[in-house]
């Protein structure tokens, strides 16, 4: 099956978001916009210590407060199963199962009342007496339990010690990154409504099927009895990838009071309830010859993890595959601390690890007097260094050259502090970037109706990445329909299975499933007319036809065809549907290493040395994202990721009080993020070609926009000032 030339232009075009009218008019239904007759409200009570036990909890005043239906504590909560293992690791521990306190803000009670105001007032009346113990809060605390190689991903190749012995120059440093908190603008919310043993949930999730599967295991009911809805989600950045305690407690409360229950987290609770990027301490050492050849890389990382939870964050792993180097060692550890459960935040692991690696690479280039771009090109790897296989596609070299040209890298003078504009020091910095390939199986269903419209659905979510739009475009192209004749729905666990919106894997997985579904649908139509003497498509197979203008044509005779509508009408059918599945490619079957996205980041900074003021004034991102389905939404992802990278580099730090474990800046008034004045001119270039590893040739671009920005800014600071800063965020005091 092929598509006509006119339809091919649908994909790749910078189409406006199809859901934009709903969003800009306030009509898009987010989870906390839903309501049910008789719905009541819940509020959480969080622990005010980080470690210890509950000695006594008195809920009597809360229970007697106006409008209160119930107060649930560990003394009254039923025994709950922990959620199941997921593709992203174990579920968080079940809430309120005993008197132990493992982190500040841990839910110790949930209050349900007729109104939100009544629930929050009653929550303030719950009195808790604690038996505190000393909390472990420092990732380098020698008392902390250390998990060594927690994911079995440590790497070793060659002889690292011999490599350093042979090096003409060795650079090494200690790099630190702080906790960051995801903080989507929309507060995360859950509504739960029971109908007998059936449960309907509206949730701020990036993965409806995971919520369904987890609640089924926790409450011991069939998955078929649970429906999870998330047609619109107010951002996530990874916060919606797990089933957090507040979702479980909302379902529990709804079952207890026999009313639908809504729970909306407060902003401070967002800092303790839905994950965060864990802090890290990294030691990196690089050996290089006088000619600029890498001979040894050693990368050690330790990051924080909660007491009874697990988070996938191998910060050193990217160093194993980034460059040609014969001797490489990467090691990761985790320290168990009394902190809220960490979780994925945009570009998990790579966001931290790339900062250390790319700053150290820059330092190595400086040590041998080589231009940072030339150094990276000299150590470029055409094959996956661990697997020894060529990449399925890699246009990083093109990213380097085109990005440098667009940025004007040739204007950079090599000496530190050599570029000025009046009182401002000017620095140019860059970083090379890769993001791992990630894809899991996915399903989609497509129907064509008698009116000639198509209805496509899958239980995915769109957290602002453009899934609604690009899947509408793709279906329109594959079926040869106009955009306005295609409807794409998502965010419903009753739809065909879809994985999470995260890891830069959804577009590829869902797009390939949709590609298969549309192919199967064409086969269904051809099967119907196989023996139909009235059809000009009689006896045609999928390879014989082309789609376009709402019709199927014989490819070798364009005048011999008929519309989907004609076929359905003649055979008395209202619609025909077909399903499609996608399975991620495997390197050994391809004979190539499956490639994620690659990119080169270039930034300009200006620094006032007298005041320590730092401004990022330009940024260029050159990205190999494979086939780009919508240039506008893809570029928007890179721009948003770049803003996130600037935020990581200059602003974000979740501050934990070392004495109590309290998050000290858990509001938007105290937790700094960029505003418009902090965001520079940005340019995005897409490089490369479709990746032949999949039918669509796409790669994910959601994560790669952030990776490398912090390193490029750090490298630009060094170029401007001669100072090598190794701790994020970069602050005024570090520059004075």
Active site residue 703: yes
Cα dihedral 73→144→649→506 (10° resolution): -60
Is residue 693's pLDDT more than 60?
yes
The residue-averaged pLDDT of 155-165 equals 98
Catalytic one among 363, 477, 562, 703? 703
Residues sharing a CB contact under 8 Å with residue 177, sequence separation 6 or more, in sequence order: 277, 279, 280, 282, 351, 352, 355, 648, 727, 728
Q: Is 707 left (phi over 0), alpha (psi -120 to 50) or beta?
A: beta
Tokens of 48: 């005010």
pLDDT band at 5 (very low <50, low <70, confident <90, very high): very low
Across the beta sheet with 420-421, the strand order is 420-421, 424-434, 598-608, 613-624, 681-687
Residues sharing a CB contact under 8 Å with residue 721, sequence separation 6 or more, in sequence order: 416, 417, 425, 427, 607, 609, 735
Q: What digits encode the pLDDT tens for the residues 492-515?
A: 999 999 999 999 999 999 999 999
Q: Each residue of 13-29: b (16+ CB within 10 Å) or e?
A: eebebbbeeeeeeeeee
Q: What is the pLDDT of residue 64?
A: 98
Among 499, 212, 487, 238, which residue's Cα sits nearest to residue 348? 238
Coil, helix or strand for 483? helix
Q: What digits encode the pLDDT tens for the residues 174-186?
A: 999 999 999 999 9
Among 482, 498, 621, which residue's Cα sits nearest to residue 551? 482
Is residue 665's pLDDT more than 90?
yes
Burial of 617 (0-12, 13-18, 19+ CB in 10 A): middle
Q: Are 351 and 648 in contact (CB under 8 A)?
A: yes
Q: Would you give the DSSP letter of residue 199?
A: E
Q: What digits encode the pLDDT tens for the residues 200-246?
A: 999 999 999 999 999 999 999 999 999 999 999 989 999 999 999 99
Task: Give start and end residues of each alpha helix (H) in 552-605.
Answer: 564-570, 587-590
Beta-strand ranges (E) seen in 317-363 are 328-337
CA 315 to chain centre: 16
Q: What digits encode the pLDDT tens for the residues 320-369?
A: 999 999 999 999 999 999 999 999 999 999 999 999 999 999 999 999 99
pLDDT band at 13 (very low <50, low <70, confident <90, very high): confident
Query: Cα(263)–Cα(283) distance, rounded to whole angstroms?
Result: 42
Coil, helix or strand for 166? helix
The residue-averaged pLDDT of 642-664 equals 97
The residue-averaged pLDDT of 128-144 equals 98
Residues sharing a CB contact under 8 Å with residue 534, sequence separation 6 or more, in sequence order: 570
Higher local confidence (pLDDT), 2 or 327: 327
Coil, helix or strand for 475? helix
Residues sharing a CB contact under 8 Å with residue 445, sequence separation 6 or more, in sequence order: 456, 457, 458, 495, 496, 517, 577, 578, 579, 580
Share of the chain above pLDDT 70, in %: 99
Tokens of 256: 């207890």
Across the beta sheet with 486-489, the strand order is 486-489, 454-457, 442-449, 575-582
Query: Cα(697)–Cα(626) distance, rounded to whole angstroms?
Result: 6
Q: What is the pLDDT of residue 7?
A: 41
Helix 467-479 and helix 506-528: axis angle, to 10°? Answer: 30
pLDDT band at 641 (very low <50, low <70, confident <90, very high): very high
Strands 420-421 and 155-157: unpaired
pTM as predicted: 0.97
Coil, helix or strand for 557? strand
Helix 208-219 and helix 245-257: axis angle, to 10°? Answer: 50
């Amino acid at each position: 099956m092929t598509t006509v030339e006119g339809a091919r232009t649908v994909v790749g075009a910078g189409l406006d978001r199809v859901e934009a009218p709903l969003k800009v008019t306030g009509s898009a239904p987010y989870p906390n916009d839903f309501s049910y007759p008789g719905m009541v409200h819940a509020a959480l009570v969080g622990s005010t210590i980080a470690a210890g036990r509950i000695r006594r909890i008195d809920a009597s005043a809360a229970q007697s407060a106006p409008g209160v239906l119930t107060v649930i504590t560990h003394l009254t909560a039923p025994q709950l199963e922990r959620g199941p293992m997921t593709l992203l690791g174990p579920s968080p521990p079940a809430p309120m199962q005993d008197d132990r306190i493992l982190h500040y803000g841990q839910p110790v009670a949930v209050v349900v009342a007729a109104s939100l105001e009544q629930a929050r007032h009653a929550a303030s009346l719950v009195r808790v007496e604690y038996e505190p113990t000393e909390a472990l809060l420092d990732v380098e605390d020698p008392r902390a339990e250390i998990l060594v190689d927690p994911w079995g991903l440590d790497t070793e190749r060659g002889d690292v010690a011999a490599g350093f012995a042979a090096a003409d120059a060795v650079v090494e440093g200690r790099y630190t990154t702080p906790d960051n908190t995801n903080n989507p603008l929309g507060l995360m919310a859950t509504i739960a409504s029971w109908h007998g043993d059936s449960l309907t949930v509206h949730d701020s999730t990036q993965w409806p099927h995971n919520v369904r599967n987890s609640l089924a295991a926790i409450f011991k009911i069939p998955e078929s009895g649970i429906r999870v809805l998330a047609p619109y989600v107010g951002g996530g950045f990874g916060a919606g990838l797990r089933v957090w305690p507040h979702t479980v407690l909302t379902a529990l409360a709804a079952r207890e009071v026999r009313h639908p229950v809504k729970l909306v987290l407060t902003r401070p609770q967002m800092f303790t309830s839905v994950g965060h990027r864990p802090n890290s301490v990294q030691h990196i050492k690089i050996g290089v010859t006088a000619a600029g050849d890498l001979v040894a890389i050693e990368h050690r990382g330790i990051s924080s993890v909660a007491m009874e939870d697990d988070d996938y964050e191998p910060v050193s792993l990217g160093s194993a595959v980034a460059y040609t180097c014969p001797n490489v060692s990467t090691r990761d550890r985790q320290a168990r601390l009394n902190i809220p459960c960490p979780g994925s935040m945009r570009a998990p692991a790579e966001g931290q690890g790339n900062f250390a690696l790319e700053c150290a690479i820059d330092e190595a280039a400086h040590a041998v007097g080589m231009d940072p771009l030339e150094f990276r090109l000299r150590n470029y790897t055409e094959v996956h260094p661990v697997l020894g296989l060529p990449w399925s596609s890699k246009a990083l070299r093109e990213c380097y050259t085109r990005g440098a040209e667009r940025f004007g890298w040739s204007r950079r003078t090599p000496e530190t502090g050599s570029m000025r504009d009046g009182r401002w020091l000017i620095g140019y910095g860059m970083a090379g970037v890769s993001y791992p390939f990630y894809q899991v199986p996915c399903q989609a269903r497509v129907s064509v109706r008698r009116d000639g419209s198509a209805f496509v659905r899958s239980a995915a979510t769109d957290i602002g990445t453009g899934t609604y739009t690009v899947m509408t475009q793709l279906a329109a192209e594959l079926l040869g329909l106009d955009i306005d004749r295609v409807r794409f729905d998502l965010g419903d666990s009753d739809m065909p299975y879809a994985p999470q919106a995260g890891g830069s894997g959804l577009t590829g997985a869902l797009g390939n499933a949709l590609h298969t579904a549309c192919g199967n649908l064409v086969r269904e139509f051809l099967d119907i007319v196989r023996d139909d003497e009235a059809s000009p498509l009689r006896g045609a197979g999928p390879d014989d036809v082309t789609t376009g203008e709402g019709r199927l044509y014989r490819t070798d005779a364009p005048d011999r065809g008929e519309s989907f509508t004609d076929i359905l009408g003649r055979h008395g059918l209202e619609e025909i549907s077909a399903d499609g599945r996608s399975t991620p490619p495997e390197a050994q079957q391809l004979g190539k290493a499956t490639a994620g996205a690659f990119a080169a980041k270039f930034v300009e900074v200006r620094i006032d040395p007298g005041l320590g003021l730092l401004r990022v004034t330009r940024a260029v991102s050159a990205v190999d994202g494979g086939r780009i389905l919508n240039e506008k939404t893809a570029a928007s992802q890179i721009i948003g990721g770049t803003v996130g990278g600037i935020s990581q580099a200059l602003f974000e730090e979740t501050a934990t009080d070392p004495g109590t474990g309290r998050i000290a800046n858990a509001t938007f008034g105290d937790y700094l993020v960029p505003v418009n004045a902090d965001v520079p001119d940005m340019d995005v270039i897409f490089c490369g070609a479709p990746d032949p590893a999949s039918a669509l040739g796409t790669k994910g671009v959601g994560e790669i926009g952030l990776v490398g920005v912090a390193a490029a800014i750090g490298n630009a600071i060094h170029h401007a000032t001669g100072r090598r800063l190794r701790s994020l965020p970069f602050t005024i005091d570090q520059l004075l």
